A and B are shown apart, each in its own frame.
Chain A
């Protein structure tokens, strides 16, 4: 850990040095006009196969290279429009969705895109059964029945059948996810090795129809895309997009200021705040569907007392953090549905009130306060939040002992339910409210060997009633009623849950001001480079 301490010290010294000001020396941006160059930490990418992608950076890659059946509007998430599909109908019983596929789309290979390709792509994802498969299998699709349930009845018609009647919006939002990216069936089948559905090939190659083609991927090093000049929606204005993995935010800032990159994706407040006055650089903020929260393990008899749970909600200085460490990185948000989702509650009932927290602890039988450990990921901003909570909770009679560790280590411990308090983040898997209701407000089986491990299970919160309500909400076909159901669920979770939800993440992007047309949506797979141009 010595090196980490050194790094932190180094970073602190550096930012101190930087704040003395890099005098704005005029430099000529020297990236080629027809190439967009981006500095980004994309070391989470492990695969480029839309049937397997389940990482944020990977999802963003998929959005540039593959067209999907349908998409949601990034400016108004309540609107869904077709992409490969030009229209669709839903049967009266709500179990059959029939999509008409746009005519004349061609894959990068030149093969025509038909309903067969769409069917194959969805079948393939279900049969491969990798990370994102559940987004489709929750509709009763299995490797055995998917060929009957998802089928092309002719080259331009795709039928998608569910096992029960669900809210149509639920089904449609799930079909806007990365996993419905359409792959070139002919090409992928020709690359199949021992019945792997071409997975080995697609892990590091592309077979899509989107605005960009994969040119080269070197894990944690370089991701290079080439424009698809024949894109059916219109060719991109740039010829290439080069993305370099630059792990160090300070290094990203230097590259951006010098004009050696056009976009920097991982700047922290100490890097982007000083850039606000620079007319060569534009800071863009996009709210994303990720929440920062901490959970309290209900296996711990102290934390299982309702008053203690509530005390924690008053022991966090939400506004203080929002003004300092989370400035530009997140906004205060306490309900489990992020802003931008159907039915999201915008009320934040809890404020920092150490006296009230003390009072609640006293009622629970702890007049002298309590002590808990908190596991936390040793990266910013998680670590900064944990330290701030440690400070504010101390004044409320709660002594917090921090246990920082690597992210995967924290998750491993979480899944074993060996924590007391644990601070982490939760990102939505798809754009429907069920994605979060299913994890914060449903726990079908609280046994240690349960199959499903939603966040409620991980904190051993046994909630049969809420679980029923969550299940009812996905079957409600009236959208207004459905939204009301989610609002009720959120209020209950706010009131009684062992979750202290604090912030909704904001993605901060720093662009050179001559870059135009990049779209930063509410999820990483709705970030688009298609319309980008450089003046």
Chain B
């Protein structure tokens, strides 16, 4: 009964996802409560009358026991209500929908950079193992991994924007184009294309180059390292020797056979680095004044805007779990041994 076995496996998967999400919620909720910041002050400021203070405390439900607050929150979330943000005084869900596309755009562009540079670099390093290309790529990877992104971002701005004028400054578009295109998807490049505003599209694309390049460097290092070790593993296999003995061209051996066989584990690596790009863009967003989810969660956390923090965390967590599931499924679909 293979169908039944799948159903059971699927149900188990769902339960484990639900438990993960609940655990994530609980941990975030508790962190939010032990942060030594009075959320009432965030709402009304520090100089209100005692009466107003007490009233707002009650409005926020902070006078209830902790477990009741948590249950109330989970109940609301299940109905799609993430509460209202203190900072923006709008529904958190609306806020997240507004800022998430910016992060998505940045992370996706960074991932493209990471894949286009990382995979070839990893293959080169494996093929020339122990010779200079391998060492060079390793050093570049090390640099990419250890320089603070914050500093690198500022330096890139200084060189390419301030000095050389090759790239535009911080922000998603030039001031001149600010607010010209109505957000449909929230991804400016896409919105500009939809609106047929080619000027805005090119401008937004130019604005994307530096931050996506800097952020992408970090995934280049990771993707290249993983590709290298997968490749080395494959190049030791007998079928590679066989192919070479048969007289197949070296390029074909490497790029077709070996790379084809590591496509599956690479997919997992790419999915995971996508997830880490989505949550790891906070500093890049700060330097480049890029109003995305990372910046939103940071601002919210520093103002004890708990609804926003919980909502944001939930989204990041859901994306992470989702991408993990996806790579899991892809693995099963693509790898004959997993079927």
Contact = CB atoms under 8 A, between A and B. Distances in A.
Interface string B219-240: 0000000000000000000000
B111 to A, nearest CB: 22
B158 A18 contact: yes
A535 interface: no
Interface of B: 35-38, 41-52, 85-90, 95, 98, 148, 150-151, 154-155, 157-158, 161-163, 165, 169-171, 174-176, 178-179, 283, 286-289, 291, 295-296, 299, 302-304
Given A43-B299, A221-B291, 7 more contacts: A10-B154, A11-B154, A46-B89, A54-B47, A244-B175, A251-B169, A409-B37
Given A406-B37, A415-B38, A451 B169 contact: no
A404 B224 CA distance: 40
22 contacts: A10-B154, A14-B154, A46-B43, A46-B88, A129-B52, A131-B44, A131-B52, A137-B49, A218-B291, A219-B85, A222-B178, A242-B175, A245-B291, A251-B154, A254-B157, A254-B162, A411-B41, A412-B36, A412-B38, A415-B46, A452-B49, A452-B50
B50 A255 contact: no
A10 B151 contact: yes
Nearest to B301: A406
B54 to A, nearest CB: 10
A204 B88 CA distance: 9
A22 interface: yes
Main secondary structure of the interface of A (DSSP, over half): mixed
Interface string A275-292: 000000000000000000
Contacts of A224: 178-179
B37 A247 contact: no
B87 A219 contact: yes
Contacts of A247: 286, 289, 295
A10 B299 contact: no
Interface string A438-475: 00000000000001110000000000000000000000
B169 A255 contact: yes
Contacts of B179: 215-216, 222, 224
A35 interface: yes
A412 B178 contact: no
Contact of A261 (B88, B157, B175): B175
Interface stretch (A24-32, A172-180, A307-315, A321-329): A24-32
Interface in A365-412: 405-406, 408-409, 411-412
Contact of B158 (A14, A134, A215): A14
Interface in A12-58: 13-14, 17-18, 22-23, 25, 27, 30-32, 35, 37, 43, 46-47, 54-55
Nearest to B168: A260
A248 B89 contact: no
Nearest to A245: B289
B41 to A, nearest CB: 6
A246 interface: yes
Nearest to B49: A134
Given A32-B176, A260-B174, A412 B37 contact: yes
A25 B163 contact: yes
Nearest to A412: B38
B73 to A, nearest CB: 21
A95 interface: no
B154 A413 contact: no
Given A25-B163, A244-B171, A452-B50, A251 B38 contact: no
Contacts of B288: 251
Given A18-B158, A131-B48, A413-B36, A246 B289 contact: yes
